[in-house]
Structure 1
């Protein structure tokens, strides 16, 4: 068993922080020795997820996941809003440039806010940053609903972008740090499930209000309701045990872990083991960084120090490389261009109810995210990506071929085609739009099962001391890529043709598959502390697969 005098939260100093100056041993060696003699590292109970704190864990996850619902709703409403807004803004129809800027400004400001949110999450705690994001969601939604100009809409969408950037980072981090390792994949996937659920709700609301004069104001304004709901729930949510230990609040951390793992004596022993692992990790990292009790005091010092540790240590750089790769591929594969502009695209393809057709894509996204929720821990993160990305690639190639006879390269502009009523580009060939729709549905299903979920497991890649800043940079990559896609999709459709645009996305998918195969290890079932060890001396792909086979 672990030494009786291990730090118990009472203020006594952990033996990991006490050493003789003449006989000092490395913190990693101390950790390995302790593991060799710690019987608590052996399984205490069967690894049934029903053994954990049950209702408490799910309440935490769904309460925090409302941020995902807001995220999904605010990215989903743009599709129906763009085809129903008419001349209500600045007394003129929206141009292609207007649509691109209104759409992409959300991603741009999410790019700006996500790194800042990561640093604030370390300084203030995960919960307080989610609180700030809720306030921004509410302000942005109401601003959009009340504005009468294009630039007012851009300002409202920008406020939502600040909220989305913070929430997309911190909520995944929050759930990841609260979840037991055997449930982490599924619980973080709930965030993606709520994001896709929010997109479905956005399409339904968009369809219901699409024929109402000024209905788009209700479409965007209703996004404030979930923000106010989560603001109320936040007062009952705890901070994560890992942040509490890092902040020196061990008693509170123990209490939260006790609620997560339940009151059964065996599960309480498991909660104590998890607490010791977290405390040990914090102590080891403090010694390795040689900061001891002289931690960076100011916000700027802390940010600089965390960034230095992220790039200086090999394992941290590997974690960042994997996270950035996955988040970049998730967006550059073009999926969100479909979510943003699906109604515009289906309008060009002569579907009579483009908003309703767009709903089929959103429902597919939701259903296959539900599939990922139920299977991701069983199939494994790496394997589900290697299986799903090739299907995405093939689907995009089919779209490329189907679009060739429908080439819009010589059209004056996408918005003029739709607004002038001259959008019968099918030339009587009704099968091609159906082929494109089916291909996009298959593409969406494959995306939702893999790339839509796995990159958001990014928190598990990073050690505690750089977890927030590493996740922040990865999330910034996501939103930077999202900004590029949102800004360029409609212009690319006009400048180089739809077929060439979808071919670019197919090539990015293929390149992403190679990257996953080469450097992404299997993380399923590993504790956050075990992931750190896996990446310490390499990417650990073969080692992780060997562990998976032994499990």
Structure 2
């Protein structure tokens, strides 16, 4: 089910959508009704997308590689085997510090720009990777993972924001989804590297290479940042409109029609910035901007449309984690070992590969089906996969008292794997990437704060799920644990249907208008 609430807005914004979709190979004006489907992304925007996507690759790699690292360390840290508490602290410290970094990055991104936050995240990735690789004790390893957590928290917030503010409206979903593709690709690489080093590497140095190799992509991105511009929207907000014009022109071209498009896009951004400043009183009497931190938070919480945007963004980010996906990614090898698979790490690779393949599918569908539509179609399949997995665990439990137990256990294991694949595929095509479109819901003056708080919600829920998954398995059993996650999916689907409007094809300057007088769904 998709919403038609944006139809009048789309008609009114027809010309502006053509202006923003300024990357056509030719510059003939398309019919107004086809504007959101015309044109292709230019080479410059693709280069920016791929360069910024390295942050996603680092995000995925560093969250995925720890699984193989923990089982390969042996007695290399503190001259003893790791305890369960050691492993829990090493793993959860990353999520905890990502939670801390997200809101802090949102404040800094408004003050100093989006690009410097990416630079800082790269420096933290390099520093954290080197500390991990040189660790000789558990506390030092925790320090390295905590620094990487700061980097992941900053990158997971700023990269989707950076891409959303640079992308043309008609292709914004595709561009932002590229970051999700990079994250899932990084997880696949982490699983492969972890398996190779665990099977064929040195017992004492293999795990150090696993974590240390994460520094290389960060160094590459630091080099590429020399050609990556700041976003036009931040530049206008910082009273640097001519620089913003230059950035927009690089994505649009230099012929007369393209120059007119540049003027229109720049005008729309300037109008939004001026209106937001006037409506929120962020100027003093002398005309100078008053960028009060408290004033920004009041604007985010007290203005109804901003509060609705924050509710939707935090709901989606929390739902993305509370459905249990990352607990599956963290502990899939444990689950498959319990089910009797002889090489659980390779079985886990099938989960990561499915996640990557269907995230690529989302890349092709997100701007065709829409954000709301793709969630309403995919979440029911997530719920089905989880509930069927719960039923599979009941089959596995019953097999232990059956005369033909081993055969039934094998059938149950294959059944569980198949339904986990269904769940992961459905997650990847919808919920795995749509929440990261959060920045498009907020007007420019609260975009960083709102996105940072929503990202912090994601990491907070991630921390909770990672901390409770194994205790839940022990306390209520695997079948009830997956049933609980399935119920969360059903509740989430109802919430999406009620309050999440469709935003596909609408410029960033106009999306917040959908939430002006309600949720914008009807």
Instruction: Tell me, yes or no, whether TM beats 0.5.
Output: yes
Which residue pairs with 1:330 in the alignment? 320
Secondary structure (helix, strand or coil) at the match of 2:409 reads coil
Counterpart Cα distance in 1 of 2:146 and 2:217: 18
Offset of 1:490 from its aligned partner? 1.9
Matches within 5 A, 1:174-253: 174-211=162-199, 212=201, 213-214=203-204, 215-253=206-244
> Which residue number in structure 2 is paired with residue 396 of structure 1?
386
1:288-307 equivalent positions in 2, closer than 5 A: 288-293=279-284, 302-307=292-297
Among 96, 106, 113, the alignment partner of 2:94 is: 106
The residue correspondences of 1:323-402 to structure 2 (distance < 5 A) are 323-402=313-392
8 Å contact from structure 2 (residues 236, 270) kept in 1: yes
1:57-456 equivalences under 5 Å are 57-211=45-199, 212=201, 213-214=203-204, 215-293=206-284, 302-406=292-396, 429-456=409-436
**Distance in 2 of aligned mates of 1:302 and 1:382:** 34
| CA drift at 1:271 | 2.1
Report how far residue 42 of structure 1 moved. 8.0
Distance 1:92 1:504, change over 3 A: farther
Unaligned runs of 5+ in 1: 1-34, 409-424, 543-551
> Structure 2: how far apart are the matches of 1:433 and 1:348?
9
CA contact (8 A) 2:282 2:289 kept: no
> Is the contact between residue 406 and residue 426 of structure 1 (CA under 8 Å) also seen in structure 2?
no
Verify the 8 A CA contact 1:396 1:505 in the aligned structure 2.
yes
SS in 1 for 2:510: helix
Superposition deviation, residue 307 in structure 1: 0.8
SS of 2:292 mapped into structure 1: helix
Report the CA distance between 1:496 and its aligned residue. Answer: 2.2
Moved more, 226-235 or 336-345: 336-345
- TM-score normalized by the length of structure 2: 0.89
CA contact (8 A) 1:107 1:161 kept: yes
SS at match of 1:538: coil
Contact 1:200–1:366 (8 Å) recurs in 2: yes
Change in CA separation of 1:39 and 1:437 when aligned onto 2, cut-off 3 Å: closer
Pick aligned residue for 1:469 from 437, 449, 474: 449
1:400–1:502 Cα contact (<8 Å) kept: yes
RMSD: 2.3
The answer to whether the 8 A contact 1:103-1:340 is kept is: no
More moved, 142-151 vs 480-489:
142-151
Q: 2:511 maps to which residue?
A: 531
Contact 2:169 2:508 in 1 (8 A): yes
Q: Verify the 8 A CA contact 1:144 1:153 in the aligned structure 2.
A: yes
SS in structure 2 at match of 1:540:
coil
In 2: Cα distance, 1:516 partner to 1:451 partner: 11
- Change in Cα spacing, 1:427 to 1:221, as seen in structure 2 (3 Å) is farther
Q: For residues 320 and 396 of structure 1, do their structure 2 counterparts lie closer, same or farther at Cα, with a shift above 3 Å needed?
A: same
Instruction: After TM superposition, give the deviation of residue 500 of structure 1 in Å.
Output: 1.8
Whether contact under 8 Å (1:138, 1:223) holds in the other structure is yes
C-alpha distance in structure 2 between counterparts of 1:540 and 1:51, whole Å: 28
Show the counterpart of 1:418. none
CA deviation map 1:189-235 (0-9, x unaligned): 00000000100110110111012213221111111111111111112
Superposition pairs for residues 501-512 of structure 1, below 5 Å?
Answer: 501-512=481-492
Distance 1:42 1:379 in 2: 18
Aligned residues: 490
**Cα distance 1:428–1:366, how it changes in 2: closer, same or farther (>3 A)?**
same
Q: In structure 2, how many angstroms separate the alpha carbons of the residues matched to 1:143 and 1:39?
A: 52
Q: Which sits farther off after the overlay, 91-100 or 365-374? A: 91-100
Q: Report deviation, 1:264.
A: 3.7
* Aligned counterparts of 1:365 and 1:116: Cα–Cα separation in 2: 30
Query: Does the 8 A contact of 1:349 with 1:426 survive in 2?
Result: no
Change in 2 beyond 3 A, CA 1:258/1:107: same
Conserved? CA contact 1:73–1:223, under 8 Å: yes
Q: Secondary structure at the match of 2:505?
A: coil
The TM-score, its normalising length taken from structure 1, stands at 0.85
